[in-house]
Amino acid sequence: MADSTDRTGQLLGNYRILRLLGQGGFADVYLGEHIHLNTQAAIKLLRTHLVDDSIDNFRSEARTVAHLVHPNIVRVLDFGVDGTIPFLVMEYAPNGTLRQHHPRGTQVPIEILIPYVQQISAALQYAHDQKFIHRDIKPENLLLGSKQEVLLSDFGIAVVTQSMRIQLANLGTSDTAGTVSYMAPEQIRGETVPASDQYALAIVIYEWLTGTLPFKGMYMEVVLQQMNAAPPSLREKVPSLAPDVEQVILTALAKDPRNRFTRIESFSRALVQAVQPKPSTPVSKPLNGSLEVSAMEASLNGSLGRIALEFARLTIGRSQDNGLVVNDLKASSHHAEIRPDGSSYSVVDLNSTNGTFVNEQRLNPGASRLLQPGDTIRIGDTKFSFEARGLSQPGVYSTSGLTVRDVPPALNVSTNFGDYYGGTPSSNLETLASPNSLSTIPPQYTPVPPAYTPPQYTPVPPAYEPPQIAPAPPQYGQAPYTEPQSPVSLPASQPQYGQVQYTGPQSPVSPPMPQS
């Protein structure tokens, strides 16, 4: 690790160092002035020595970062190596870092936090679209510009200082322990992906909301918690926090990056939506608390019975304030919503943890899908069939109070989520599971002929007889068998394939009739 000598008054490239701005475990930051242009810039001098290969890697990384141009990213103006010590010249952000504005232990009101998140996620989404991952999101790397805009700094620095971080980790220094507090499990394993930045941002949001980090301790203690421990409940620390806000943050903190939001901008939009007050959409209920079932145009049908859809929104989830409450551990507190959409209805995923599936196709968080008669909606292990009266619906079998559907298998199930969402379906799904589920229909259920037959299924007529299958040709000893070119009819006395000896026919063969 390089010595942290005060460089005030020295020249680095075309910049004269004016004064020290700040110090960290990996770098010292100075205010510098261009000797010809008289413009000021921030100069980050890394505390590491580079060898030949590392110098080439640093230059390549710096060139890439210099091409990132976004209103919420600190612009890299120049870079170089002083001997073996690398440095970056960046635009100067005069208002300090968000860590300085919100010291450790302080809580940030959500109305202040949301604009921060929107700007940070916009910058990260831009970088991800350029195939670039930040790798070191934390309040110390979030600056405030001259117009109070949030600026991301230190793009790519994590790659350059990787070896030094390992050294500091072995020493258990506070700086590297602080960095790992924001690090995603897969990044700790050396498998950084764009969703790693999403995880780090969610840790920052957690800290701002609660005033504390979810995982604390020495370096290895934090590493083990990041890999294995669930974050403590936000609402236990901040009871006034909306359940939807907690759900969005916990989704971004999923240990498996495949279970987070697909894009960091989706995470930001979901958080903004969760903060917005939701208009109440009461569903008509009788005195016993169960959903009122009436003759409506459309309905959801499943193990919970037939739920009539009025022309109003119907929220679905585990929380008791939903219009339809599902006791499913894989369902979120506010999981999905059925909304009127023109003359039909749409299902909207409310940024649930485990996703909302239509015909086994997962909806993007916050995305909606127009429902067609016969569509199957899955929330956790609970399935519903969407029905609309008066429309032809293939493969439907009427029951008293429940519609049993012969559901075709999905053709393009996402491989990213198949393993995680696999498992044995609960017993209440047996009438909505698969084509084999017809065998589970009790005898008193009378099938109603479908209005049409989907192309992938062939209806079986009642008097159907299976085709006759020709027996396999006999084997002839151990020698390879060659199929005859035309069928040959042999008398019963003809020797059979596989006999060791041939015995002539026991009865004479009639000669052919003479020609007339």
pLDDT tens for 322-334 read 888 888 888 999 9
> How confident is the model at residue 422, as a pLDDT?
34
H/E segment holding residue 200: helix 194-210
Number of Cβ within 10 Å of residue 319's Cβ equals: 17
Report how far residue 72's alpha carbon sits from residue 151's, in angstroms, rounded to the nearest whole number.
4
pLDDT value at 197 more than 90 = yes
Clarify whether residues 119 and 249 are in a common domain: yes
Phi-psi region of 200 (alpha: psi -120 to 50; beta: other; left: phi over 0): alpha
Sheet containing 298-302, strands listed edge to edge, beginning at the edge strand earlier in sequence = 305-309, 298-302, 382-388, 376-379, 356-358, 361-362
pLDDT at 432: 31
Whether 436 is covered by a domain: the verdict is no
Q: What dihedral do alpha carbons 471, 477, 482, 485 form, nearest 10°?
A: -60
Is 136 among the catalytic positions? yes
Q: In this model, does residue 241 exceed pLDDT 50?
A: yes
Q: How many CB atoms lie within 10 A of CB 454?
A: 13
Residue 151 lies in a domain: yes
Are both 196 and 325 inside the same structural domain?
no
Catalytic residue among 3, 28, 56, 136: 136
Q: pLDDT confidence of 80, banded at 50, 70, 90?
A: confident
Is residue 425 situated within a structural domain?
no
- 213 shares its domain with 320: no
**Confidence class of residue 459 from pLDDT cuts 50, 70 and 90?**
very low
How far apart, in whole angstroms, are the C-alpha atoms of residue 375 and residue 302? Answer: 12
Instruction: Tell whether 506 is covered by a domain.
Output: no
Which H or E run includes 243? helix 243-252
Q: Please tell me the predicted confidence (pLDDT) of residue 411.
A: 31
Domain shared by 313 and 338, yes or no: yes
CA of 246: how far to CAs of 68, 181, 221, 269, 444, in Å? 32, 19, 25, 14, 47
Last residue of a domain, one of 245, 275, 305: 275
Residue 309's closest CA among 247, 371, 223? 371
* Same domain (yes/no): 267, 169: yes
- Domain membership flag for residue 421: no
> Can you give the length of the chain in residues?
516
For residue 422, which amino acid is it? Answer: G
The reply to whether 252 and 117 lie within a common domain is yes
Whether 233 and 132 share a structural domain = yes
- Which CATH number is 369's domain given? 2.60.200.20
Helix (H, G, I), strand (E, B) or coil at 56: helix
For residues 104 and 87, membership in a common domain is answered with no
Of 70, 91, 112, the domain-final residue: 91
Overall number of domains in the chain: 3
More confident residue, 298 or 13: 13
* Gyration radius (Cα) of the chain, Å: 34
Q: Residues 87, 103: one domain?
A: no
- 73 inside domain: yes
Q: How confident is the model at residue 489 (pLDDT cuts 50, 70, 90)?
A: very low
d(CA 239, CA 248): 16
Average pLDDT on 17-23 reads 90
Q: pTM for the full model?
A: 0.55
Instruction: Output DSSP code: residue 97.
Output: B
In a domain? residue 438: no
SS3 of 403-452: EEECCCCCCCCCHHHHCCCCCCCCHHHHHHCCHHHHHHCCCCCCCCCCCC
Say if residue 333 is in the same domain as residue 366: yes
pLDDT over 60 at 397, yes or no: no
- How buried is 429 (Cβ within 10 angstroms: 0-12 exposed, 13-18 middle, 19+ buried)? middle
Per-residue pLDDT tens for 156-185? 665 555 544 444 444 444 444 448 999 999
In the prediction, which pLDDT does 468 show? 57
Residue 253 and residue 153 share a domain: yes
CB count within 10 Å of CB 53 equals: 8
| For residue 445, pLDDT beyond 80 | no
Same structural domain, 239 and 195: yes
Closest CA to 96 of 135, 42, 132, 32: 42
Q: What's the CA dihedral at 495, 496, 499, 503 to 10 degrees?
A: -10
CATH number at residue 219: 1.10.510.10
**What local confidence, expressed as pLDDT, does residue 288 receive?**
38
The domain boundary, picked from 40, 60, 91, lies at: 91
Domain boundaries, position 314:
297-389
55 — pLDDT class (breaks 50, 70, 90): confident
Residue 395 belongs to some domain of the structure: no
